[in-house]
Structure 1
Amino acid sequence: MSTLWKKRLLKLGIIVPISLNVVATVDALTRSEFNPIRHWISHQSLGERGWLGTWNLLLSGTLIIVFAIVLKLTLESGRSAVWGSIFMGTFGLGLLIAALFPIDPGLNWPPGLPASRSVSGQIHDIGGALVFGSLIAVCLVLSSKFKEGSDWIRWRVYSILSALVVFASFVLCSIFVALDFSNVMPSAPSGLFERISMAVGCLWIVLLTLRLLGNKESTN
């Protein structure tokens, strides 16, 4: 792959994470009866404009996998390069699984449909765990990739903090959704913490990409 195309495709690490979150946010805020504080990004694949939620996950997952391949070519060597690229790829794979196997109705979405449990929903849950587990792993694996830089300590601290926030937010999301389903805390803010987890992980990918593009420009 030529250097020019590698640089162009590397920019997917900026475009895709931003578009994934922007589309999800705008779609959530403009749906009647949809509550982004309670409902998850995955719920946007159901009900009104469900096709948009599905395609957002599907295209994002596909392009993230392409980005993971380019990331490996850019990082070139080392165990962190290999595992970082693998975890970036499994992040994309998790998004694909979440798109192809829709979440089950629940938390009063779509309106009027009772909560249910299906094989598709169970597979979807595996995809969701893969998404957030991969975001945590890639932040930790690539936290010390830039030791040659003068500010690598700040990058390492930021990466570890990002992994902790993604993890903590996902755990809180899981706790709140369990409280919601059990009617202990109806309308609990599980969707909010899922979106925080996704946004923090995606921001880390954007900043990683900007750092890599800056390194490439400085060596040209």
Structure 2
Amino acid sequence: MPHTLSALPHPAPTAPASRRGRTALVGGMAAGPLFLGAAIVQSFARDGFDFGRNAISQLALGESGWVQTVNFSLAGALLIAGAAGLRRVVGGDAGGTWGPVLVGVFGISFWAAAAFPADAGAGFPVGAPGTTVMSGHGAAHMAAGMVGYLALCAAFVVLSRPLATRGHRSWAVASRLVPVAVLVGFMASAASVLAFTAGAGLGLLWLTAVTARLAMPPAPPRAA
């Protein structure tokens, strides 16, 4: 009998992969808070910037715009690392293939946003006209953001499946509702830039929450 037991496969070799996956998930957890925190700090340091009329993307303009460009680039790298971590952790679950891919697309959109800056307007940088004239790079920036956030919203819906199968039912329901709130914020952007910023911020912070939840062990089964 001891010889039979010793011949059984040992689970230890899979543990390092799981640890690597959870380490990579730190990127997905950190990306949103770091990106938003850096933007808030810049908003106080940049003359003329106002969240009530200016988008976060416009912080990449002007003399100190390189700070926001780095912020976009770093957030993109962290999101892609987080997507790789998600693939390791939930790859075998329902939705475990497309969820990480969609988060990766979201990360790539941040790199595109860094490469193609937004247009000046609404008085920022100081001296910019009140109205925005769409340029080629401005259109590319908007397209990257649209594709990225649509991918993120789809990722939330897809990741609700591994959340549910791991016993996190309320999280799964919320993960289907948050995309609605994000998209409502975007649709209200014509009337309020702040609504757009709130929707974008909600998406980033919910990704942090979902990633952290999936990094934890599955919930124990409920007693019958």
The TM tier, using the shorter chain, reads: 0.7 to 0.9
* Superposed counterparts of 1:136-215, under 5 Å: 136-152=153-169, 154-173=170-189, 175-176=190-191, 189-190=192-193, 192-215=194-217
Equivalent in the alignment of 1:43: 58
Q: CA deviation at 1:49?
A: 1.7
Compute the TM-score of the two structures, normalised by the length of structure 1: 0.84
1:81 maps to 2:83: no
After superposition, the CA RMSD in angstroms is 2.0
Unaligned runs of 5+ in 1: 177-188
Does the 8 Å contact 2:21/2:87 carry over to 1? Answer: no
Cα distance in structure 1, aligned partners of 2:18 and 2:38: 30
Partner of 2:28: 13
Residues 1:151 and 1:77: Cα distance change in structure 2 (over 3 Å)? closer
Give the aligned residue type for 2:118.
Answer: I
- Contact 2:23 / 2:85 at 8 angstroms: preserved in 1? no
Q: Which residue number in structure 2 is paired with residue 102 of structure 1?
A: 117
Larger radius of gyration: 2
Q: How many residues align?
A: 203
Instruction: After the TM superposition, list the runs of 4 or more consecutive aligned residues in structure 1 that deviate by more than 4 angstroms.
Output: none
Identical positions, percent: 29
Q: Contact 1:31–1:48 (CA<8 Å) still a contact in 2?
A: no
Q: TM-score, normalised by structure 2?
A: 0.83
CA distances 1:171-202 after superposition (whole Å, capped 9, x unpaired): 111x22xxxxxxxxxxxx31x12221122112
Q: 1:123 aligns to what?
A: 140
- Equivalent residues of 2:96, 2:159 under 8 A apart: yes
